[in-house]
């Protein structure tokens, strides 16, 4: 298995707003961090059944299934952005409304097992993409949602985004079980 050492992005490689995700990522090998997240999420959700995975900790909040579906959607989007930027595509990439995506997906109608399988596939593909990139590709810059950022910053945002939601899952959802 190829390992990649992705250097932490510097503040000039992303908009200040993105720092809230990037700062969550601990020092270390990024692909190992992504693998650890993959394992942790699986361990946290493996004991839930479909009914439990439809739990919402408050009215108007996503269910566990919706949170997982959001992670899958967001990872696909982050990975696509990382690919485009790393390949030197200068086409400005749009933002996305995560609430509209979740509302349109009907994740609660899907079996939790199916959503976990989908997550596994997407994370495996993300790791393959990341491991295939060299430092030159990771340092390339593109425009996403009106912000200039590097492919490296996008990779760290992906990891930090998941760390954010893992924290929410552990703090707000799982204590109820």
DSSP-derived secondary structure for 105-171: HTGGGS-HHHHHHHHHHHHHHHHHHHHT--HHHHH-EEEETTEEEEHHHHHHHHHHHHHHHHHHIII
Report residue 4's pLDDT band, with 50, 70 and 90 as the boundaries: low
pLDDT tops 60 at residue 89: yes
pLDDT tops 90 at residue 177: no
Average pLDDT over residues 79-96: 98
Query: pTM value?
Result: 0.95
Q: What is the model's pLDDT at position 3?
A: 56
Q: What is the model's pLDDT at position 175?
A: 87
d(CA 161, CA 166): 9
Average pLDDT over residues 139-148: 98
pLDDT tops 50 at residue 82: yes
Domain 16-176 in CATH 1.20.120.450: yes
Average pLDDT over residues 63-68: 98
pLDDT tops 50 at residue 1: no
User: What token pair was written down for 103?
Assistant: 């509302």
């Amino acid at each position: 298995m190829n390992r990649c050492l992705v250097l932490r992005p510097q503040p000039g490689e992303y908009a200040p707003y993105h720092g809230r995700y990037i700062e969550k990522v601990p020092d270390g090998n990024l692909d190992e961090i992504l693998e650890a997240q993959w394992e942790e999420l699986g361990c946290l959700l493996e004991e839930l059944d479909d009914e439990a995975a439809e739990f919402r900790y408050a009215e108007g909040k996503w269910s566990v299934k919706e949170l997982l579906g959001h992670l899958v959607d967001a990872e696909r989007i982050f990975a696509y952005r990382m690919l485009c930027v790393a390949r030197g595509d200068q086409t400005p990439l749009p933002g996305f409304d995560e609430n509209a995506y979740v509302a349109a997906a009907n994740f609660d109608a899907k079996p939790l097992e199916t959503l976990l399988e989908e997550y596994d596939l997407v994370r495996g593909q993300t790791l393959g993409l990341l491991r295939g990139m060299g430092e030159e590709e990771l340092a390339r810059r593109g425009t996403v949602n009106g912000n200039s950022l590097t492919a490296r910053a996008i990779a760290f945002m992906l990891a930090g985004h998941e760390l954010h939601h893992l924290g929410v899952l552990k703090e707000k959802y799982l204590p109820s079980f």
